[in-house]
Amino acid sequence: MATTKPTIAITMGDPSGVGPEIIVKSLNDEKIYENCSPFVIGDLKILKRALEVTNINLELNSISNPEEGKYQAGTIDILDLNLVSEDLPWGQVSSEAGNAAFRYLEKAIGFANEQKIQGICTAPLNKEALHKAGHIYPGHTEILAELTGTKDFAMMLSAPGLRVIHVTTHIGLMDAINKINPERQYTVIKLAHDTLKKAGIQNPRIAVCGINPHAGENGLFGNGEEEEKIVPAIEKAQAEGIDVQGPLPADTLFFRAKRGDFDIVVAQYHDQGHGPIKVLGLEAGVNITVGLPTIRTSVDHGTAFDIAGKNIADELSLKEAIRMAIELAPDQLS
């Protein structure tokens, strides 16, 4: 059991997006400081601008390492990397902002590798801006995996009443089906089981989606993908005592999971898993990268350039992401 509050690094994400706004709105909540020691990695000038936009009055305390943080309600501790210009426009794709988003995350990972923090919570980045800056990654998850040297990882999404973990994510559907194999399937089932056990669920109930309609319906649909790519992994996990069922038809499985029949669903590809979570509400969804040496959570929405700088963005998803980081971080503490 943890005896101290976890230190959570909150990365600003793309500074042209809604990240700065939702960060200051979230850290305006005194309750967050009761359960963790949060600090922001980003640009001080952008955070000041976000305070002006949101009409929030908080002190900004510039730090150079996590040990210097005040971690007091009413103050935001900010590790200023000073990477973008003061007149960086809201809501526009730029290499300047894309590079900054990458560098914020890189800095957080450095602190995690040095065990100076117990979790990372990320505001959204923009993939086009990231690529313009020369950082060719599909998203946060792949950056985190490479910079931590992690081979086996997966994206988990959490919303009220539903958790989903993905076998494949940011690749085309045909490529996804080709990449699904029993080894990857088993890895994701095991990651789901181990992650939920760490979160306090002693015997997680796991359900695995089929690839084809009706999970193939005994060979009626598809070309035997379920039997070839999914069943061997389920049988291996079951032999180890893991409570896992499937492959099951995706069109009814998410309803059953939301009803409470299962603790987590294994989705085979991006839209199969993301759709049901986002129907439950973008504002309440949390993205969790599992398998990393540190906890990482994120909002389950994008940079929302169309509303950036307008004081419209809802901070609920970020507050949920911080809460989830706190919930999962204690195992990281000595």
Task: Clarify whether residues 101 and 178 are in a common domain.
Answer: no
What is the pTM (predicted TM-score) of this model?
A: 0.83
The number of angstroms, rounded, from the C-alpha of 108 to the middle of its chain's C-alpha atoms is 14
Report the DSSP beta bridge partners of residue 8. 38, 119
DSSP assigned state of 200: T
Task: Clarify whether residues 4 and 114 are in a common domain.
Answer: yes
The alpha carbons of the chain give a radius of gyration, in whole angstroms, of 20
Residue 287: inside a domain, yes or no?
no
Task: Clarify whether residues 325 and 211 are in a common domain.
Answer: no
Does residue 208 contact residue 247 with C-beta atoms inside 8 Å? yes
Which tokens sit at 148? 């931590």
Residue 284: inside a domain, yes or no?
no
Quickly count: other Cβ atoms within 10 Å of residue 273's Cβ: 27
Residue burial 66-98, b: 16+ Cβ < 10 Å; e: rest = beebeeeeeebbbbbbebbeeebebbebbebbb
Task: Clarify whether residues 117 and 194 are in a common domain.
Answer: no
Task: Clarify whether residues 31 and 147 are in a common domain.
Answer: yes
> Residue 106 belongs to what domain range?
1-151+292-334
Which tokens sit at 86? 């003061």
Long-range contacts of 216-222 (CB under 8 A, 24+ apart): 216/247
Domain tally, the chain: 2
d(CA 247, CA 236): 14
- DSSP secondary structure, 223-278, as one string: SSHIIIIIHHHHHHHHHTT--EEEEE-HHHHHHHHHHTS-SEEEESSHHHHHHHHH
Q: Which parts of the chain are beta strand (E)?
A: 7-11, 37-42, 59-63, 75-80, 119-122, 154-159, 162-166, 206-209, 244-248, 264-267, 286-290, 295-299
The enclosing domain of 236 has a CATH number of 3.40.718.10
Residue 230: inside a domain, yes or no?
yes
Residue 176: inside a domain, yes or no?
yes
Q: What is the C-alpha end-to-end distance of the chain, expressed in Å?
A: 9
Task: Clarify whether residues 66 and 40 are in a common domain.
Answer: yes
Task: Clarify whether residues 124 and 179 are in a common domain.
Answer: no
Task: Clarify whether residues 227 and 268 are in a common domain.
Answer: yes
Task: Clarify whether residues 137 and 51 are in a common domain.
Answer: yes
Task: Clarify whether residues 253 and 314 are in a common domain.
Answer: no
Question: For residue 105, what are the contacts with CB-CB under 8 A and spacing of at least 6?
Answer: 11, 120, 122, 125, 140, 143, 144, 147
Residue 40: inside a domain, yes or no?
yes
**Res 222: pLDDT:** 81
Does residue 267 contact residue 173 with C-beta atoms inside 8 Å? no
Task: Clarify whether residues 204 and 112 are in a common domain.
Answer: no
Tell me which residue of 44, 37, 36, 39 sits closest to 15, measured CA to CA: 44
Residue 262: inside a domain, yes or no?
yes
Using alpha carbons, list the distances in angstroms from residue 236 to 164, 193, 232, 246.
21, 13, 6, 12
Task: Clarify whether residues 12 and 147 are in a common domain.
Answer: yes
Give, for all 334 residues of the chain, the pLDDT tens digit.
344 789 999 999 999 999 999 999 999 999 999 999 999 999 999 999 999 999 999 999 999 999 999 999 999 999 999 999 999 999 999 999 999 999 999 999 999 989 899 999 999 999 999 999 999 988 888 899 899 989 899 999 988 899 999 999 888 999 999 999 999 999 999 999 998 988 778 999 999 999 999 987 887 888 889 999 999 999 999 999 999 999 999 999 999 999 999 999 999 999 999 999 888 866 667 888 888 888 899 987 889 999 999 999 999 989 999 998 988 875 443 3
d(CA 101, CA 84): 10
